[in-house]
Amino acid sequence: MSLGELQVLGACPLDCPDTCSWVVTVRDGEAVKMRGNPDHPYTRGALCVKVNRYLEHTRAPDRILHPMRRIGPKGSGRFERISWDEALEEISVRLRGIIDEHGGEAIWPYLGTGTLGYIQGSEGMAGRRFWNALGASKHFLNICATAGNVGLSRTNGTAGGMDPETFALSKLILLWGTNTLTSGHHLWKFIQDARAAGAHVVAIDPIRTRTAEQADEHLPIRPGTDAALALGLLNVVLSEGAEDHDYLENHTSGWEGFRAEILRHPPERVAEITGLPESDIRALGVRLAHTRPTGIRATMGIQRHAGGGTAMRTIAAIPGVTGDWRRPGGGVAYSTTAYFPLNVDSREDLLAAPVRQLTMTRLAEGLDESVKCLWVYAANPMGSTSAQDRIREKLLREDLFTVVMEQFPTDTVDYADIVLPATMQIEHTDLHAGYGHMYLMWNEPAVEPPGECLSTMETFRRLAGHMGLTEPSLYDSDLELAEQLLASGHPSLEGITVDRLRKEGWVRLNVPQPFVPFADGFPTPSGRLEFGAGPAYVPPHTASAERGPYPLALITPASHTFLNTTFGNNPELLRRSKGPRVLVSPADAAQRGLSDGQRARVFNDNGEFEAVVEISDRVRPGVVASTKGHWRKLSPGGATVNAVVDERDADMGRGAVYHDNLVELSPCASRRRT
């Protein structure tokens, strides 16, 4: 008997600001179609080139469908199928033994951003209650946005800023270190609305990206020098007498000190730092001085260098000087996550004693002999984390019990002792909040999981039961967790219930529209925008005068075909990516005897990877670029761009430095590729 056809509302779980609303068509229990939800006010029915293939991806032949145990050497990727009871029993015995001998802190739960769900993923710190009950080490998930979050918070008291929808009201738009058409393309519709009303769009980016090519103007800045440019633009604003005196007097603090810092950065000095023509800096400064409102979009890539936190702190100060923070369409948009007041309760009271914190981007450093169990979920650190070669060495430790919850046989899976099959988004319940818009999103499971796949929280519920844990909150259902998340009592959640979300699919937060976040002051100790003390520009590592044997600054932007390493094994998207490539300026290629289509070795003291040379004026001399997201075992030479990325911290929040590394290139002996 036919079960008929259903339309099931869901939301994209991936690490993208847009968090698209989608509709899955289910016929006789099978998902047969997925499309963007045309009713969603922000994503408006469009999915990206990656997620358009999501249904196909859920049925891929290399999908992990059953628990597995390692039977070969670590790194070999050789496993045998076992039952869930066998897997849970082996895990329980190993965890109990580790806790008894070494204490719970010997366990490192390594959660990534493979899903941003508040129930199954990183936003809700999925599984943290279970780990607290065991006394496991805390995991500091700093890989994505922490430097920028801290920098913005020091200025504004929060990392929240503009509602991205208000870019439609902007008259000058600065797309600063963000490739909108690749990473969050739904914003472009609002930018187009602004352009239709006469707005001028400027892309500030070391690479002439898809977005930069569509902008009215492109400034190819040296990587990591963004704060210096911000100061130079403000220097022009002051010289034009265009600072907003009323706003500065009544809504900011620390202005005189910051003003002195601006005056130390005239355009001629900033031109030397940024590599931009002085005339371009002056021209944009004049435009900024006299165009209200100005909206600035700056996303996570801009803060992945030694001075990343300071860069965001200084950029956030621009609308404090011009007064744009009080205008619809004015200000800075980085992340809207801070506006979602969900009640994320990881039950810290379950800890018997304080425990240490281990840092995500310091995996190679942190995996010392004190860590006896690494539990990886929603993450692929062998593909996504810096110091790739050193991580591999640590994962080869025979005394390290490694469990990986996964959907596909990633590079990290190859080093697991136990692999647990994980559900994908159309197979489980979750609650999401876009970090690039103001909507709560509901994901209803559309189909039953294939094989023996379990969701993150169901896995932890079963494991808690197998280990005999009696804490009731470890067994809360997904719907109970959703109810708890919405029970914060915050006015912006009033009237938003689980029943309503399940019915409607998405609900906008209870905030004004248009939303002007700091119209009534800032959530800082003073209630004002705080310009703060200390340097307003911290040079990147790549600005070192002593570059030694590695003269090229490497940046590792997002791929148009992968999202981090998700989809890195999809045959069609892998074909479209054309494999690892490195953008090299004509001058740098000629100096090294490199030709277009030739395979090159990219290297420094951390390691090396191979990539096909693409000679292009899209990068300036002294800068090379190679996209992230490729899988190590599917790449030539068995390494990816993260082999040359160092384990260093940004200036704030222990942020990552993926765009702040020095390398050299040389031709490979292998054949040409096209």
pLDDT tier for residue 548 given thresholds of 50, 70 and 90 = confident
Per-residue pLDDT tens for 186-216? 999 999 999 999 999 999 999 999 999 999 9
The whole-angstrom separation of Cα 531 and Cα 511 is 27
Residue 362 reports pLDDT greater than 60: yes
The whole-angstrom separation of Cα 95 and Cα 373 is 8
Distances (CA, A) of 196 to 170, 191, 199, 557: 11, 9, 7, 29
pLDDT tier for residue 533 given thresholds of 50, 70 and 90 = confident
Q: Is 329 left (phi over 0), alpha (psi -120 to 50) or beta?
A: left
Residue extent(s) of CATH 3.40.50.740 domains in the chain:
68-143+340-508
The whole-angstrom separation of Cα 79 and Cα 93 is 20
What's the whole-number mean pLDDT along residues 508-520? 94
Predicted confidence at residue 669, as pLDDT, reads: 78
What's the whole-number mean pLDDT along residues 335-357? 97
Residue extent(s) of CATH 3.40.228.10 domains in the chain:
161-334
Share of the chain above pLDDT 70, in %: 99
Q: Write out the DSSP string of 49-78.
A: TTGGGHHHHHT-TT---S-EEE-S-TTS--
The whole-angstrom separation of Cα 151 and Cα 651 is 9
Please give the CATH number for the structural domain made up of 161-334: 3.40.228.10
The whole-angstrom separation of Cα 156 and Cα 261 is 19
pLDDT averaged over every residue in the chain: 96
Give the angle 350-354-356 at the CA atoms, nearest 5°: 115
Per-residue pLDDT tens for 82-126? 999 999 999 999 999 999 999 999 999 999 999 999 999 999 999
Predicted confidence at residue 4, as pLDDT, reads: 81
pLDDT tier for residue 660 given thresholds of 50, 70 and 90 = very high
Predicted confidence at residue 194, as pLDDT, reads: 98
Predicted confidence at residue 444, as pLDDT, reads: 98
The whole-angstrom separation of Cα 136 and Cα 121 is 18
What's the whole-number mean pLDDT along residues 137-147? 96
Residue 671 reports pLDDT greater than 70: no
CATH 3.40.430.10 fits domain 541-667: no
Predicted confidence at residue 670, as pLDDT, reads: 53
Residues 6+ apart with CB under 8 A from 438: 163, 165, 336, 339, 508, 509, 511, 515
Predicted confidence at residue 545, as pLDDT, reads: 62
As given in the structure block, the two tokens for residue 294 are 């100005």
| Strand 138-140, strand 357-359: pairing | parallel
Class for the domain spanning 68-143+340-508: alpha beta
Predicted confidence at residue 546, as pLDDT, reads: 67
- The DSSP secondary-structure symbol of 557 reads P
pTM for the whole thing?
A: 0.96
Residue 672 reports pLDDT greater than 50: no
